[in-house]
Structure 1
Amino acid sequence: MVCFAAGCSTMDPVEHADTLAQAGGLQRERIVTPTFVLTAYSKISSPREPIHLYIEGDGLAWISRTQPSLDPTPHQATGLQLAAIDPAPNVVYLARPCQFTPMAVNPTCGIPYWTGKRYAPEVVASMNDAISQIAARAQGQQIELIGYSGGGALAVLVAAGRTDIGSIRTVAGNLDDAYVNQLHNVSEMPESENPIDFAKRVASIPQIHFSGADDHVVPSAVAERFVDETGPRCAQTRVVPGMTHDGDWRAVWPDLLRVAPACGR
């Protein structure tokens, strides 16, 4: 049994994801990259408009503080929940490496890729390759990135190396993994890239970073630190009252999505 904000489900995580995606008109697919085979759910209805591209969080990376999971597939799939209610004509949800995709077709997968190497350069490269394949379906259009939790980290890391990113939105985004790990007194991740180190490279991209006021996993100070590094011209933070890290972001997402990222003068 899997429990979510709206109640409990007897479906396994993949079945639940398929149900969520179907309600939003998204079709499941696999995207082959040189390092990983990634699972995506997509809807491209108007190739002449931008693509809203959602990146999932870290998923079920750990069973306990010291015991990693054997399968990082998220049970709640918050990123997919948000994608499924996005009314844009072009919406794509991109799961992280080793999530939703059978390990048998992903020989590179292993515990390091959802623990210490979750933001490693090869992970960023794989996500970037998949996004390029998706972008080809709406040639010349911009990609609007939306990342939940650790997906926010990858949204920044991917955006830092691309020229077709129209905006970045993060939801409870881990934008400074060294700081977050220090807050929780857990191991550093020297094999991963830290988004805050790339803040200057995305400083000219319109962006909004949403944090939950009651998020004790990735507190609002993380987004504030990131915007301090980018500068405030194109980046802003918003704190959502009463929201926890894994709270019901779906309930507030339609309103948050209407807040358009923009650069000031």
Structure 2
Amino acid sequence: MRNRPAGPRPWAGVCRTLGALLVSALLCACQSPYSALQQLAQQHGRHLETVPGQPFPLVLLAPEQPASKRLRVYLEGDGHAWATPSQPSLDPSPRNLLVARLAINDPTPNAYLARPCQFVTAAGCTTALWTDRRFAQEVVTSLSQALDRLKQRFGNREFELVGYSGGAALAVLLAGQRDDVTQLQTIAGNLDPGLWVRRKGLSPLDGSLDPMVYRTRLKSLPQRHLLGGRDTVITGDIAASFRGTEESSRCNQRIIIPAASHEQGWENAWAHWQSQLIGPCP
């Protein structure tokens, strides 16, 4: 057997470079969702913390400054609920930090609030909590407890809720169960989960609450629902169903963003709509 010639191999430098790039890519891919959120917060001077609660602690990006009267709170979407179409994820933390970026880039005093079991885990975290029971009462109660803590800490009297995707359903449920939510905005919002599962041919969300129950009660609440014209996950008829057949009202705006899909196009769109007034309502 012949020996290899001495000296460097012709492709050794290239292989080392490619190897280093591959390792770097793998390290980035392996960065935990919490680390990614922490890095994002640090880059923008926001404080990331965990709000204690029973049974679920929640991850929070605290406001940079107190709100004089009303605090805007961004509610995260369903996150990485499913690993495959038939296999629930073991970690529902969002891989796309869209909602956190929307909050960070918003000059309005605001907080970002993750869902139970996103970024941090607890004894009660089971896959049902981010699949069938994603809109269950224990999820709503956990978020409501966090709102109470924010109110005590920052002194605001009211809340404006901004819910993305499945976070929109929870924003409606919170508004329906509390008396201090005075404005509601949703982005690509799943406002009628029952209709959504039927459209998608999915199994019912057993154990979840139905936001449609609160449609009539909230009809005089100032609200705006932004839908993506290219969104194939949450189509425009979902928000139309929640809005009902009432005549167009300044109190309940439904806006189509033609270029937006479910995850793309929202940062530019929200930069415009985040400061636009809703109403005045009758």
Give the TM-score, by structure 2 length: 0.85
SS at 1:210's partner residue? strand
What residue number does 2:119 align with?
Answer: 100
Q: For the pair shown, which has the larger CA radius of gyration, 1 or 2? A: 2
TM-aligned CA distance change 1:192 to 1:232, over 3 Å: farther
Q: Write the distance in 1 (CA, Å) between the matches of 2:280 and 2:132.
A: 34
Which residue of 184, 191, 202 corresponds with 1:168?
Answer: 184
What residue number does 2:259 align with?
Answer: 242
How far has the Cα of 1:150 moved from its partner?
0.5
Which range is displaced more, 242-251 or 61-70?
A: 242-251
Which residue of 160, 178, 186 corresponds with 1:144?
Answer: 160
How far has the Cα of 1:46 moved from its partner?
2.8
SS at 2:237's partner residue? helix
- Answer yes or no: is the 8 Å Cα contact 1:159–1:165 preserved in 2: yes
What residue number does 1:61 align with?
Answer: 81
What residue number does 2:48 align with?
Answer: 28
Q: Which amino acid aligns with 2:89?
A: S
Q: Which amino acid aligns with 1:251?
A: N
TM-aligned CA distance change 1:34 to 1:218, over 3 Å: same
Q: Write the distance in 1 (CA, Å) between the matches of 2:43 and 2:178.
A: 31
Deviation by residue 1:33-67 (Cα, 9 ceiling, x = unmatched): 22211111112413424211000000000012111
- Answer yes or no: is the 8 Å Cα contact 1:56–1:147 preserved in 2: yes
Q: Tell me how large the CA RMSD over aligned residues is.
A: 1.8
Q: Percent identity?
A: 34
Q: Write the distance in 1 (CA, Å) between the matches of 2:38 and 2:269.
A: 22
- Answer yes or no: is the 8 Å Cα contact 1:203–1:230 preserved in 2: no
SS at 2:256's partner residue? strand
SS at 1:202's partner residue? coil
What residue number does 1:41 align with?
Answer: 61
Q: Write the distance in 2 (CA, Å) between the matches of 1:165 and 1:229.
A: 24
Q: Which amino acid aligns with 2:83?
A: I
Q: Write the distance in 1 (CA, Å) between the matches of 2:252 and 2:50.
A: 33
What residue number does 1:18 align with?
Answer: 38
Q: Write the distance in 2 (CA, Å) between the matches of 1:51 and 1:231.
A: 30
Q: Which amino acid aligns with 1:243?
A: A
SS at 2:177's partner residue? coil
Give the TM-score, by structure 1 length: 0.90
Q: Write the distance in 1 (CA, Å) between the matches of 2:125 and 2:245.
A: 33
Q: How does 1:73-88 map to 2 (within 5 A)?
A: 73-88=93-108
- Answer yes or no: is the 8 Å Cα contact 1:52–1:145 preserved in 2: yes
- Answer yes or no: is the 8 Å Cα contact 2:93–2:117 preserved in 1: yes
Deviation by residue 1:85-124 (Cα, 9 ceiling, x = unmatched): 0101x211000000011x2xx1000100000000001111
SS at 2:42's partner residue? helix
Q: Which amino acid aligns with 2:32?
A: D
What residue number does 1:219 align with?
Answer: 235
Deviation by residue 1:220-263 (Cα, 9 ceiling, x = unmatched): 11111111178754211000012111113122211021222224
What residue number does 1:187 align with?
Answer: 203
- Answer yes or no: is the 8 Å Cα contact 2:66–2:155 preserved in 1: no
Q: Write the distance in 1 (CA, Å) between the matches of 2:40 and 2:248.
A: 36
Q: List alignment gaps of at least 5 residues for structure 1.
A: 1-8
Which range is displaced more, 30-39 or 52-61?
A: 30-39
How far has the Cα of 1:140 moved from its partner?
4.6
* 1:109 maps to 2:128: no
